[in-house]
Amino acid sequence: MKRRKREPELLGDVVKRVIPGAAEAGKLERARRKWRATVGDRISSLTRVISFRYGTLKVAVFSAPLLSELEFVRAELVEELAEGEDALVLKDLKFSLKEE
C-alpha cells in the first residue's frame, strides 16, 4: 500500500484543527495580558477579562465605583489597548458588575 504524500502543515494550523477553541483561548490570554499592562496590577486585581470575541473585550468589574470610573475613561482605554506591539484589534469595550 502506497502512502500518500502531503504538504507539511504549520503546527498552529494543526492545533487549531485538532483542539477546537485553541485559537480563541490564545486570543483571550493575550487580551488578559494587554488589559493588565494597560490598567496596572491594582485595577487588574479588581477586574477580570471574561471574553474577547469579534473585536469586543468584555471585562467583569468587582466594584461599582470602579465600574463608573472605567466607563468614564472607556474611550481612552480603547485607544491604549489598540496601541503598541501587543495591540488588540478592538471595536468595543464592555464592562459588567460582578460579585467576587
* Residue ranges per structural domain of the chain: 11-97
Overall average pLDDT of the 16-23 stretch: 58
What is the pLDDT at residue 94? 98
Average pLDDT over residues 29-41: 96
Topology of the domain comprising 11-97: GMP Synthetase; Chain A, domain 3 (3.30.300)
Q: Residue 16: pLDDT above 90?
A: no
pLDDT for residue 18 is more than 90: no
Helices (H), the chain: 11-18, 22-45, 64-72, 74-81
Q: Which three cell numbers stand for residue 45?
A: 486585581
Concatenate the DSSP letters of all residues of 34-46 into one string: HHHHHHHHHHHHT
- Tell me: the pLDDT tens digits for 36-91? 999 999 999 999 999 999 999 999 999 999 999 999 999 999 999 999 998 999 99
At 27, the pLDDT band (50, 70, 90 cuts) reads confident
Task: Please provide the distance, in angstroms rounded to a whole number, between the alpha carbons at the two ends of the chain.
Answer: 60
Per-residue CA distances from 22 to 13, 18, 28, 34, 73 (Å): 10, 9, 10, 19, 32
CA pair distance 64, 98, nearest whole angstrom: 9
pLDDT band for position 21 (cuts 50, 70, 90): low
